[in-house]
Structure 1
């Protein structure tokens, strides 16, 4: 297993909510804004600001098939991207409580 894949899986396993993001991405900003408004504690890794970001993004494609950011996990479950998270807005607080992120 690649170091990037191990790192991605460790991040997913150790954090109740994870956003794999890019600092300039408007969809990533919308995701983080929604999580902030929800009062969620979450872990963000900006893939454009870490040396192994492109390797982590490639590893995420192997793990869940998604190539774009944001790539969101709640309680080790792949949620998808920003539109997927926004679509769950009504049930988000329950998801976050269940994950221990509120």
Structure 2
């Protein structure tokens, strides 16, 4: 678990935008579509495609108190899930520009 937590934290720290996702999740896909439509540069980790995905998901719950995906971080700040990201769509472009993700 410590390795997964370290890995999750470094992904969050090293990327302006980090999206922890599952490839088959419609909410995850909606979040990625929104980010793509704005031309955002982001790191996506498909938890169902990496060997330590479930450990990373457990670690994310420890870090953010959120177990569900997508689990989205912008500028090392936890945004939340898809509905949280969609709710920020008006200010998202500015937020992304601030962290250098556009």
Q: TM-score, normalised by structure 2?
A: 0.99
Task: State the Cα RMSD in Å.
Answer: 0.7
Q: Which runs of 4+ in 1 moved over 6 A?
A: none
- Matching residue of 2:74: 74
Alignment partner, residue 7 of structure 1: 7
Secondary structure of 1:72's match? Answer: strand
SS of equivalent residue, structure 1 residue 68:
coil
Matched, 1:35 2:38: no
1:58 aligns to what? 58
2-side partners of 1:10 and 1:42: how far apart?
A: 14
State the alpha-carbon separation in 1 of the partners of residues 84 and 38 from structure 2: 16
Which structure 1 residue ranges, 5 or more long, are not aligned?
A: none
Local SS of the residue matching 2:19: strand
| 1:47 maps onto 2:60 in alignment | no
Query: In the aligned structure 2, how far is the partner of 1:81 from the partner of 1:13?
Result: 18
1:33 deviation in Å?
A: 0.0
Structure 2: gaps of 5 or more residues: none
Aligned to 1:86: 86
Give aligned pairs, total: 102
Query: 2:96 aligns to what SS in structure 1?
Result: helix
Q: CA deviation at 1:37?
A: 0.2
Task: State how far apart, in whole Å, the 2-side matches of 1:95 and 1:45 are.
Answer: 21
**What per-residue deviation string (whole Å, max 9, x for no partner) do you get for residues 52-80 of structure 1?**
00000000000010010000000000000
